[in-house]
Chain A
Amino acid sequence: MTAGMTPIVKNTARLVSGFIAVFGIYIALTGHLSPGGGFAGGVILAAAAVLVVLAFGGQAARKIFTPAQCHLWDAAGAGLFLAVAALGYVSGGFFVNFIGRISTGQTFRLFSGGTILVSNLFILVKVSAGLAGAFLALSALRRMRGGGAALEGGGI
C-alpha cells in the first residue's frame, strides 16, 4: 500500500481532505455550542490524515507530515492541556475555569465558556496528532525486506 492508489482517488483526496480537516476543526471549536467537542473533532481531523496516507501511500505522506512532527504536536497538546489546568490556580484551584471567573462571555457566542474553548482546542491537537502518527507508523510496516534493517522512511 505504500504505492498509493489510482489518479482518480488521488485527485479526489486532494480536493476533499482539506474540507474534512476544516470540518474537524469546526466541530472541535464549537463544542460548547452544539454537539461535538474536542474528541470528535480530533478524530475527524485524524481521519483526514488517514485519507491522505491511504490515497498517496506511506512514502509520499511522510513528505507532508512525519512521525516526529506528530510526536511533537501530540506531546504539545497534552502539555498545554496540563498548563491550562495548572493555570487554574490563578483563581483558586486545579482546573478552575479561570477565564470564566473573569467573564463567561455571552452564551451562544463563540468566545464564551472560558477555558472550555481553549481546552477543546488542545484536546483536538492531541487526539488528532496521536491518531495520525499511529496510523502513519502502522502504514510503514508493510514492506520489509532482507535482514530486518531500518524501515523505509527512517522508521519511527
Chain B
Amino acid sequence: MGIEYLVLLLLAVMLAAVVIAVETRDLLSSVIAIGAAGFALSVIFLLLGAPDLAITQVVVETVALVLLIRLIVTRRDTADETQTPRDALRTGLVMLAGGVLLCGAYFALSGTDGVIPPFGEPVLGHKPDDAIPPGVSADYLARSAEQTGAANAVMAVLLDYRAYDTLGEATIIFVAILGAYAVLRRSGRKKHGIEEADT
C-alpha cells in the first residue's frame, strides 16, 4: 500500500540522517542531521495514524535543537577520534550484541511466531478465541466516548484509563528538570576563576 512505501522511504531518510549525525566530524552538522531525523520521525508518526505524536515530536524536536545549538555554537570542538585497541574491542563486543538483537528482532517482529502480531494487524483486532489473547484497546476505542466523554481515545487512555502511569511520567519529567537545575546551581563554587568568552 502507498502509506507503507512512504513510511519505508522516510525511515531510510531517518537512518541516513542518523548515520551522518554519528559519523561527521563537525558538531554543528551532526546536530542539524539529528534534527532532520527528528522531523522525518514526526512525518512517520503522522503517516502511522498518530497526529498527537506528530505535533508533540515537532515541538519537542524544535526545542531540543535550540538546546543543542546553544550548547555547541561557541564551543566548536571538532570530534577527533583516536581509538585504542581496547576501545575497538569494547565497541566490537557491543556491536556483536547489537547484531544478536537485530536477528532476534527479525524473528520476533516478522509476525511468524505470534508473540508480536504482524505489522498491520494489532492485537486489538483479534477475536477472543484466537491464539493471541485480545487486547484491551478494542474496548477502550469502543467505550471511551460514553464512559469518559472524550472523543480523543489517546487522551482518554492517558488521563482516565491509565492515569496512574501519567502520574509516573509527570514525576519523571519533574525529576529530570530538577536534575538540570541541580547541575546548574552555582552556590558553593567559589574557587574557580573561569573566564567565559564573549559570544
Contacts and interface: CB of A to CB of B under 8 A. Distances in A.
Interface in B158-183: 158-160, 163-164, 166-167, 170-171, 173-174, 177, 180-181
A143 B52 CA distance: 39
Contacts of B76: none
B149 A156 contact: no
Contact of B184 (A104, A130, A138, A146): A138
Interface stretch (B28-36, B134-142, B186-194): B186-194
Interface stretch (B63-71, B88-96, B97-105): B63-71
Interface stretch (B1-9, B12-20, B54-62, B113-121): B54-62
Chain A interface residue count: which class? Answer: 35 or more
B184 A112 contact: no
A147 B193 contact: yes
B190 A148 contact: yes
A123 interface: yes
B62 A47 contact: yes
B170 A97 contact: no
User: Which interface class (under 10, 10 to 19, 20 to 34, 35 or more) fits B?
Assistant: 35 or more
Contacts of B60: 43
B59 A156 contact: no
B174 A78 contact: yes
Contact of B159 (A50, A54, A82, A120): A120
Interface of B: 51-52, 54-56, 59-60, 62-63, 66-67, 70, 145-152, 154-156, 158-160, 163-164, 166-167, 170-171, 173-174, 177, 180-181, 184-187, 189-196, 198-199
16 contacts: A3-B199, A32-B150, A34-B151, A36-B55, A78-B171, A81-B170, A100-B148, A104-B146, A116-B156, A126-B170, A131-B177, A138-B67, A138-B70, A146-B193, A148-B193, A156-B185
